[in-house]
Chain A
Amino acid sequence: MIPERLVNWVVFAGLLAVPLWAIVVDEPFTITLVTRAVILAIAAVGLNIALGIGGLVSLGHAVFFGIGGYAMGILAYHAQTYTSLDLFGLSLAGTKSMPIIWLVAIVVSALAAWIIGLLSLRTSGVYFIMITLAFGQMFYYFAISWSTYGGEDGLSIYVRNGFPGLNTLVPIQFFGLCFALLCIVLFLNARLQNAPFGLALNAARQVPTRVETVGLNPMRLKLVAFVISGAITGLAGALFADLNRFVSPTMFSWQLSGELIVLIVIGGVGRLYGPVVGACLFVALEHWLGALTEFWHIYLGLILLAIVLFARGGIIGLLTGKEGAHV
């Protein structure tokens, strides 16, 4: 069986190699595809912190994805229409600068995650799944009826936001930006897993009562994990909105929440590169299977079923021969 480190490095190298090859053969669309995979991977890494380490099955994580997306959408909209955003009596100008937008997305998502977490973590098991779903649906319906920012039509941002020193409209440059962020997020995740916090969280997932007897508060651990998780997924949402130059309520949908979970499971729950492998595979399947037949969802369902029933550790589990975290 292949050691996990090797698998990780191969994936990392692959993620860099494919866009570079795409430049050589002049296929800019492949770069866009890989960028999409990278952004979804960031979102899934966020979720994996809550799900894989913390054991929190959140079926409403799209909430943070959407919040990040709308943070970008609202700020950029006010910038491109030269109107000001009136919030709590303050009149703010919009902005098209990515770093600021990312900061806003992260902060707002973290705040939302804190509130949602406080309310949801009182429950557990399937009730937790359902209450996170409920919050997702609330935001979804709210966004649809909020016609100031497009409602169901969504918001189009005509020109991609700017990053100092780069021309973000060039596919490879935007890819580079997203890839750098993925690396940072993965690094954070790795450090977290091995830090005392991560170990405690892992323990809290498996044996909460013992953790309590040691004097730690599992609820607080999970809340912190949920907040970090929400913040990262929020960042991914802002990037996704920038990739598509479009934001819409579907970013809040429960189907997207489900897809994020699917990504992690295909790759391998609790594995560092699980979300990355899952995202790449998902985007690839979506692209190629969709070209083969109109009914490709059937095959996706069959593959997913096979993985859940027979390959519990996901792809990485298959390759490394070890099972991943039991949620």
Chain B
Amino acid sequence: MHRQYGGQNASFKQSDHNGENHMKKLLMATAALAIGATSAFAETKIGMITTLSGGGAGLGIDVRDGFMLAIGQSGRDDIEVVIEDDQQKPDIAVQLADKMVQSERVDILTGIIWSNLAMAVIPSVTAQGKFYLSPNAGPSALAGQGCHQNYFNVAWQNDNLHEAAGAYATSAGYSNTFILAPNYPAGQDALTGFKRMFKGELAGEVYTQLGQTDYAAEIAQIRASGADSVFFFLPGGMGISFLKQYADSGVDLPVVGPAFSFDQGILQAVGDAALGVVNTSQWNKDIDNPTNAAFVESFQAEYGRLPSLYASQGFDTANLILSALEKAEVSDADAFREALRATDFDSTRGAFKFGPNHHPIQTIYAREVIKEGDVFTNKIIGVALENHSDVYAADCKM
């Protein structure tokens, strides 16, 4: 567990030397105690449960880093963030949530990356009166019938990026697309979302196995199907494997996908195989507004790497919370909620607003993978969907 305080020391790098960290923590804790004793501010406690170990750790680390960057830049010293690792296991996430609510008595929770962990934690946490702001996972159940007044999603609803890919594929003129995704709920949602916005024909629809690493068979199917394009959703290592094998196979069809397989962290591992692929995202580092430019620069200065969309989502979530804290205390739940709804903050995406189900209404861009010098990154090539909400909002009876 790592406790970090906003203000004094903006450097929150995960130190390799635990001794150094301990000393720092001890000093900061003492200082905070001293301040707390005399402070007139009620302290706000935020609990972040995210994935910091195992294969999926890259996403959690990015969200955490983006979030803490914003907290550090705020200069506030009355916010305490408790960060825990859920190891991508739902039962650990539930246990941590219990601990945060019962033992740490946090006011706000955030951080979960994966939809299955989110579904395990969020309903019970919001039912207990705590606020939950999601910096990533946006399951459809919580956007529609399961929506809750304490639940806000700062990233997207799961289907959004896939819908945008479908819209882009239509506008790019593809008429016979081969689509594939892993056989689990997020994968099924991905293909449903794509099909919702895609107006062409499907050359094939395949569900792969979760965790599958060899796609030779699927690529052979693509080759034989007569498709003119490919859409896939394969997060993490699955996407890396698929792209490498696809690029090597000689099947030269254009590829479209959501940002999840083409984020900054993964691109370096895929290399040339990803060049030219179009992917959809609500954020890219070249979105032209001062907040975004400052964010990219400060993130690179602080952590020595370019931010991904996950980092931007963590950054925005923190800034939304900070903006609401300017207006109301968390203890006044109704006022705080209204302050959150007002979204009176500078987002890396420009203007930011929520729909009635507390999910963003935003523009989703189409971006292409390019190489800048030695680094692979994305560049915006167009808009896929503008002012896009989600299809579940109508079911939300908040």
Interface positions of A (Cβ within 8 A of B): 27-30, 32-33, 36, 141, 144-145, 147, 150-154, 156, 158, 171, 240, 244-246, 248, 250-251, 290-295, 297
B116 interface hit (Cβ, 8 Å): yes
A-contact 0/1 string along B69-111, CB 8 Å cutoff: 0000000000000001100011100110011001100000000
When the two chains form their complex, are residues B18 and A293 in contact, meaning their CB atoms are under 8 A apart?
yes
On chain B, the residues within 8 Å of A248 by CB distance are: 90-91, 116, 120
26 pairs of residues in contact across A and B, judged by CB atoms under 8 Å: A27-B102, A27-B103, A28-B102, A32-B95, A33-B95, A145-B183, A150-B116, A151-B184, A151-B185, A152-B210, A153-B185, A153-B186, A154-B116, A156-B119, A158-B123, A244-B95, A244-B120, A246-B94, A246-B120, A248-B91, A250-B89, A290-B84, A290-B85, A292-B18, A294-B14, A294-B52
Whether a CB of chain A sits under 8 angstroms from the CB of B188 is yes
Interface residues of B in 250-298 (CB under 8 A from A): none
Question: Which of A29, A145, A245, A250 has the most chain B CB atoms closer than 10 A to its own CB?
Answer: A29
A-chain residues with CB within 8 Å of residue B99 when the two chains form the complex: 29, 32
B1 within 8 A of A: yes
Report how far A246 CA is from B97 CA in the complex, Å: 13
Q: Which residues on the A side are within 8 Å of B98 (C-beta)? A: 29, 32
B127 interface contact, C-beta 8 A: yes
Q: Which residues of B contact A240 (CB under 8 A)?
A: 91
A259: min CB distance to chain B, Å: 11
CB–CB B116/A152 < 8 A? yes
Chain B nearest CB from A291 CB (Å) reads 4
Q: Which of B94, B95, B123, B210 contacts A144 (CB 8 A)?
A: B210
User: Which chain A positions have C-beta within 8 A of B186?
Assistant: 152-153
CB neighbours of B184 from chain A (8 A): 144-145, 151-153
Contact B139 A250 (CB under 8 A): no
**Which B residues are CB-close (under 8 A) to A153?**
115-116, 119, 139, 184-186
Contact A158 B127, beta carbon cutoff 8 Å: yes
Choose from B90, B95, B103, B185 the contact partner of A147 (Cβ within 8 Å): B185
Residue B124 CB within 8 A of the other chain? yes
Task: Out of A151, A156, A171, A290, name the residue touching B120 (CB < 8 Å).
Answer: A156
Measured between C-beta atoms, what is the minimum distance from A96 to chain B in Å? 16
Question: B352-379 toward A: CB 8 Å interface, digit per residue (1/0)?
Answer: 0000000000000000000000000000
